[in-house]
Amino acid sequence: MVFIFGAACGPVIDNDAPYRQLYVDHAKIITSDIALKMSRVAPKAGPLQFEAADHLHQFCLQHKIAMRGHCLIWNEWVPQWIKAMTNAEREKFFDSYIDEVIGRYAGKFQSWDIVNEPFWPESQGARWLSPRSLVRHVRAKLRKTRVPARWFRRQAHKVCAERSAGRT
């Protein structure tokens, strides 16, 4: 079995040469840490901001290191301006957001974290989002973008069923 070592990588690699060299020498895959979290990409209404993610992707290309996109949606990193939307507005925003982010990096990343900890029981950030609507929405988007998500779908349905039954 081949073991691929990787790590999350943040902006510190730009300012710390020895730290950066650890990634170059040892990592075979880098996770984007905060560069692709929604608060960074969509901090306010308007054009999406991909500068940090593009910069990290260029670093990975330059050093022949695979990149994992993290993450399209995470309740803890959704900006307040999106949480304040109505469900219909948020669904429309998620549609365009996922299309644009996936489209920009299609075929460039080794893998994706689609949704991170959407139903974490201790999370207070998820109250603005219905688990069933999120699963329905992300499943439809994944079909459209053809991102493999069998595991996510199984887990999300399991958690929704448990939550509906009052077990979480």
Q: Which residue has the higher pLDDT, 131 or 106?
A: 106
Residue 151, pLDDT score: 41
- Percent of the chain predicted with pLDDT > 90: 34
Q: Would 100 be classed as within a structural domain? A: yes
Range of the domain at 147: 6-164
Q: Within 10 A of 66 (CB to CB), how many other CB atoms are there? A: 15
What is the arithmetic mean of pLDDT over 112-122? 65
Question: Quick check: 86 pLDDT over 80?
Answer: yes
And the tokens for 8? 């999350």
Closest listed residue to residue 9, CA positions, set 39, 42, 26, 31: 31
Residue 147, pLDDT score: 46
pLDDT digits (tens, 9 = 90+) for 42-67: 999 999 999 999 999 999 999 999 99
Residue 15, pLDDT score: 92
Closest listed residue to residue 13, CA positions, set 43, 48, 57, 49: 57
CATH number at residue 79: 3.20.20.80
Residue 17, pLDDT score: 95
CA 165 to chain centre: 28
**Tally of domains within the chain:** 1
Least trusted range by pLDDT, from 7-21, 25-39, 56-70, 108-122 = 108-122
And the tokens for 73? 């949606």
Residue 48, pLDDT score: 97
Residue 4, pLDDT score: 78
Residue 98, pLDDT score: 84
Report the mean per-residue pLDDT for the chain.
78
Q: Which pTM does this prediction carry?
A: 0.73
What is the arithmetic mean of pLDDT over 124-152? 55
Q: Would 1 be classed as within a structural domain? A: no
The full DSSP string for 95-117 is: HHHHHHHHHHHTTTSSEEEEEES
Question: Quick check: 125 pLDDT over 70?
Answer: no
Closest listed residue to residue 161, CA positions, set 119, 128, 126, 125: 119
Residue 154, pLDDT score: 47
Beta strands in the chain (DSSP E): 6-8, 29-31, 66-74, 111-116
